[in-house]
Copies of this chain bind each other. A is one copy, B any other.
Amino acid sequence: VGVAGVPVGGPDLVLIAGPCAVENEEQTLRAAHAVRAAGAHLLRGGAFKPRSSPYSFRGLRKDGLAILARAREATGLGVVTEVLTPEDLPVVGPIADLLQIGSRNMHNASLLEAVGRYGRPVLLKRGYGATVREWLLAAEYVLAQGNPHVVLCERGIRTFETATRNTLDLNAVAWARRHTHLPVVVDPSHGTGRRDLVSPLSLAAIAAGGDGLLLEVHPDPHDALCDGDQSLTCEQLTSLVPGLRRVGEAVGRSWFPVPLYPRWVAEAAAR
C-alpha cells in the first residue's frame, strides 16, 4: 500500500507519528518537524475526533484539516487522519493520504463501503472488542468495493486488566500476518495507555512482525487536549527510533528513507 510515496507493508518499516488531536498550528507544526527529524514517514493527527461523550472536545474539524495540509507542505510528510462519516469524506478525503477508520467504527459498514468506493488508502483499526476474524471481515467491506489499499492496525483490546488502558494483542499481529496479505501496523499508544510502556511495546510490535507503528507524540503531553498520558514527548520518540531500527534489522526489516523537505526538492529543481 503506497501512501504519499511511502510503501506500507513492503520490506521496510514505516513510522506514523504525531499528536492525538490537531490543537493549533504551532503545536502541529512543532510535532510534525520533530517526528520527521526523529525518522517518521507519515504524520498522524485528528481533526474530526470520535468521543465517548458528546460534551468532550471533538476536534478542530475543517480548521484542523487545513493545519494538517500546511504541515504536509512544510515537512513533506503524508497525512493520516480519521474520517467519521461518509458525509465527511468530501472534506477529509482530499487532505488525507491515509484515511483512518477508528476502533469505534470498525463495524460501521456504510462508512467502510464509502471509503472503499472513495479509493484512497485506508487504515483500519481493530475494534476494541472485535475478534481478529471480524477485523478481517471489516476489511472485506472495503476490499469488496474495489479498494485494495487497506492497512490493518492493532490498537489493543479490552480485558479485565486495569493497570493498562487496553491490552495490546501482539498475537493478533502475528496471526494477521499469517492470514492475510494486508499490511499490519501497531498502535502501542492506545494499546497501553501509558507513556512508560509505549517504547518497549513498540519494539515488541516490530519483533512480532508489525510493518510499522502508529505513535502519539506531543510537544508537551501535560497540556494535551486528549490522550496526554499516552503521548511520547518528541525527545522520547527521538530516543526510541534507533532501537526500532536495530530490532527491525534483527528481524530482517530496514527503515524506509524519511521523505525530503519539499523546500529542498523545490530548491534543487530551481537550480
Contact = CB atoms under 8 A, between A and B. Distances in A.
A109 B140 CA distance: 23
A84 B110 contact: yes
Contacts of A144: 54-55
A141 interface: yes
Interface in A46-82: 50-55
Nearest to A139: B54
Contact of A54 (B129, B137, B175, B200): B137
Contact of A175 (B159, B160, B197): B197
Chain A facing B: main interface SS: helix
Contacts of A178: 196-197
A172 B162 CA distance: 11
Interface string A152-179: 0000011111111001111111110110
A47 to B, nearest CB: 15
Nearest to A134: B52
A251 interface: yes
Contact of A167 (B128, B167, B251): B167
Given A161-B172, A204-B204, A129 B132 contact: no
A171 B164 contact: yes
A170 B168 contact: yes
Contacts of A159: 157, 159-160, 167, 169
Contact of A131 (B55, B140, B163, B173): B163
With most chain B CB atoms within 10 A of its CB, the pick from A54, A105, A191, A194 is A54
12 contacts: A52-B138, A54-B109, A55-B140, A127-B129, A128-B129, A161-B169, A162-B162, A167-B169, A170-B201, A173-B200, A178-B196, A246-B251
